[in-house]
Amino acid sequence: MIAGPSDAGGTTPRIPSFPSARVSHQTILVLDFGSQYTQLIARRLRELNVYSEIVPFDTPAARLLERRPAGVVLSGGPRSVSEAGAPRPDPAVYDLPVPVLGICYGMQLMTDALGGTVAPAPQREYGHAAIAVQVPAPLFTDLPHSLRVWASHGDLVQAAPPGFTVVATSANAPVAAMQHEARRRYALLFHPEVAHTEHGTEILRRFACGVCGCRGDWTMTSFVEETVERIRAQVGDGRVLCGLSGGVDSTVAAVLVHRAIGDRLTCVFVDNGVLRQDEAAQVRQRFVERLRLPVVFADASALFLDRLSGVTDPERKRKIIGATFIEVFEARATELGRFAFLAQGTLYPDVIESVSVVGPSAAIKSHHNVGGLPEHMRFQLVEPLRALFKDEVRRVGLELGLDEDFVWRQPFPGPGLAVRILGEVTAPRLSLVRQADAIVAEEIRRHGWYRRLWQSFAVLLPVQSVGVMGDERTYEYTIALRAVESRDGMTADWARLPHELLATISSRIVNEVKGVNRVVYDVSSKPPSTIEWE
């Protein structure tokens, strides 16, 4: 599954809005000021069955009003309001006749615009912080007076604007939350959308349902119906190719497109040579025999491995795999006939870590599913899941009737095992990591941890160390085990797996994978680390 530019001109992709003209749901609009967490706000609202849409930070207030929103949220952002050129909304946003919630940078913008004081924090807050709720407030009704929250700011609100009440404080912030009830203006210095904030979803519920009056009328059923309608409108009488990876995302995308246009969809599965053990055979059984999707198989494993020969830089690996995928895909498409559209299971996290999508967010890296594409593609993209997170896609999959075991399959990177081999990708190294990875998956399932983990896998390190097997000295490779817990992949914590489980996995790998004599466990969280090693 490889994502590409949004049009033939190779322009920076932007998250497509949901079909505003055909949506009758109550809507909360989120102005994007570039925070990596912006989409989490929209996601948490959707978990409350409240339709939400992200729009650029500089959208004119008149345009916002045309959408008849129930409320508006000003997202966080990486800048300081004191910086020259820092992104600011249309000033008329603060006069909108609907509730407005500012989060972190959004709070600082509101404070600065309405006459309060924003200043550099004597002690920056990144990570857990404790707030104390001082006065009754709609956003904190029936919640504990002391909450652990997730902070990420270098500035603070030194004084609230005139007419605002200070609702909560923290040890390092005199104004951690504030409100102007008469004007229905609310602001938080912390991030309620992040899972680490206690009762964060409840705070957003109180804003969306209590303050904005949303009934929660947006469901996965309505998403499926509207998405199928949107696909039909986009494709018309055209034919669609689908880049099928075998994972949940591309499968759900394929089923949605198939439901919309039927036999005018053709799926292509490219064996890139860096798949998991028996992956190609499993794909054939699942998609052809069970789902009855039209799938064409292209075995290009030798081509991929040849082009990866001698390559050790992770970024080059991604780009080579992405470019080769498109080359093979287009060649196969030419053989199959004329297609105008390419359908893919691109998700929001694939995009947000790679490019500035809606607001001025900074790129972290070329993501596994976004890098390595040519500037011009002859396909128009159909990406029905581009604004969703993984667990939302799983809910859509269940709505479409896919098997629960398959829907809850752990994510797998687009470049596959190539980013789980540090250093050069070769056939012998692939064999090592495949065997080790299969053992990890088998034991994680056997011990009942599979559904509890976001991802669990093996990484082959370019490190050889001395060992003893029997009476012989060995000098062989090291496998790193990685297992993390997460709700969305944006943040993750390393899993505290039982020692007995780790011992079993280690013993099996060392005994069954010839060429490995050492196993280590990765105890790094995201941030500061990423989930994948490359």
**Three-class secondary structure assignment of 399-410:** HCCCCHHHHCCC
Q: Which residues of 272-281 are buried (b: 16+ CB within 10 A; e: fewer)?
A: bbbbbbebbe
**Residue 442 in tokens:** 């088998």
Can 191 be counted among the known catalytic residues? Answer: yes
Of the residues 47, 53, 193, 532, which is catalytic? Answer: 193
The neighbouring-strand residues paired with 457 are 482
> Is the Cβ–Cβ distance between 105 and 133 less than 8 Å?
no
Q: What are phi and psi of 57, to 5 degrees?
A: -60, -30
Can 193 be counted among the known catalytic residues? Answer: yes
Phi-psi region of 245 (alpha: psi -120 to 50; beta: other; left: phi over 0): alpha
What is the rounded CA–CA span in Å between residue 265 and residue 272?
22
Q: How many other C-beta atoms can be found within 10 angstroms of the C-beta atom of residue 7?
A: 12
Q: What are phi and psi of 508, to 5 degrees?
A: -65, -45
**Residue 50 in tokens:** 């409240």
What is the rounded CA–CA span in Å between residue 425 and residue 310?
8
Of the residues 191, 258, 367, 368, which is catalytic? Answer: 191
**Residue 204 in tokens:** 């957003």
What interhelical angle do 301-308 and 314-336 show, nearest 10? 150
Can 199 be counted among the known catalytic residues? Answer: no
Surface-to-core class of residue 500, CB atoms within 10 Å of its CB (0-12 exposed, 13-18 middle, 19+ buried)? exposed
Residue 164: C-alpha distances to residues 80, 94, 254, 259, 303 (Å): 21, 13, 50, 51, 64
What is the rounded CA–CA span in Å between residue 382 and residue 106?
32
Closest CA to 492 of 126, 68, 194: 194
> Is the Cβ–Cβ distance between 485 and 502 less than 8 Å?
no
What is the rounded CA–CA span in Å between residue 281 and residue 143?
52
Q: Which residues lie below 8 Å from residue 365, measured CB to CB, with a gap of 6+?
A: 315, 353, 354, 530
Of the residues 25, 47, 53, 104, which is catalytic? Answer: 104
Q: Which residues are catalytic?
A: 104, 191, 193
